[in-house]
Amino acid sequence: MGDASPWTRILREAGSVWRTIQSVLEPRPTSDTDDTDLHTVLTFRSVADAVVPRTPDLADELGAEHVPGGPDVGLGDCLVGYVNGLFQFGLPGLGARGNLPLAAPVAGTLDAAALELLERDGNVDEPGREHVHDLLDPGDPGSAADDAGTFATLSREDRLRAIDLLEEFEVELRSLDGEPFEFDAGVVGQLVVGFTEMIYYSEWDGYEAFPEPPGDLVHPNDPSAVQGWRQTGYPGFSPGYAALRGYLGTDDGPLGAGEPWTTVDGDAASPVRLSRESGQFRENDYDTSDYEEPFPEEGPLAAEVV
């Protein structure tokens, strides 16, 4: 959109920078965590809302279990804990005290991408607090929307456009000894999108306390308690699920032999069987008359290849 004045852009950028600084120096805790600021949490909630949105239009077509999205199962809050627990940036010479959680810097990076999108007039919808209100939980402070950064104020589609811009960013950091360290900010976008999709369809929301050390977790293995399982029809984990159950084969193919476990598409002209034995290729099953060796079989070059 090209109707933003220079003063509006300056105020947006200054506001976003100030909120990022506040989230690092004077974090306002969320209602259910004591060490995570609202700015960071709202940013990750906005990621979950954009990547796995609610889809009410699918209710009639696929069923009510396909309506909830990431925000409905608290995926954004989970992502904050997941990123802080899995990735940390260590400051030299400080030991464990120098391990800095990365969720807040990631949120700041997403805000920078959002500002760049607005600067380029690449947004389709006007940013606004109405996009933030959908991210709030009943236990959040009444003024929580004021803590949202620029990224969270974008529409769902524009958030994805901002994430795409990260592919163009390169960041250079210098450690205390002056050695430069560069990384491609596109990795940030790939990770937040990838983790959002992966965690949503995993077993995570079946745990009472996530993320805790795996050894301290007990999963109820209840398909009705896991949103991703309800959507995919996964019946829960069981010993043997990862084991080989058989070999695919058809009546007109060489593979799959012996007693079948089951038959797929039994009404098809050539039903697919899942058989107990592998079967074997038959001679002349495939026409290889036009095959050419990639390397010469004779001459000096052939000797070098060998």
Q: What is the pLDDT of residues 11-35, one digit of tens each?
A: 455 554 445 444 444 444 444 444 5
Q: Residue-wise pLDDT tens for the chain (306 aa)? A: 545 555 455 445 555 444 544 444 444 444 444 457 889 999 999 999 999 999 999 999 999 999 999 989 899 998 998 888 776 665 555 555 556 778 888 999 999 999 999 999 999 999 998 899 889 888 777 678 888 999 999 999 999 999 999 988 776 655 545 555 566 777 888 889 999 999 998 888 888 776 666 677 788 888 888 988 888 888 888 776 666 667 777 777 777 777 777 777 767 777 787 777 777 766 655 566 676 766 666 665 555 544
How far, in Å, are 253, 274, 276, 289 from residue 285 at the CA level? 9, 20, 22, 12
CA 121 to chain centre: 26
Q: What is the pLDDT of residues 192-244, one digit of tens each?
A: 999 999 999 888 888 877 666 667 778 888 888 898 888 888 888 877 666 66
Name the DSSP class of 76: H
Report d(CA 143, CA 129) in Å as an integer. 11
Task: Quote the pTM value.
Answer: 0.66
Report d(CA 76, CA 72) in Å as an integer. 10
Report d(CA 284, CA 32) in Å as an integer. 67
Report d(CA 74, CA 66) in Å as an integer. 16
How far, in Å, are 4, 18, 217, 233, 237 from residue 222 at the CA level? 50, 44, 15, 12, 9
Residue type, 9: R
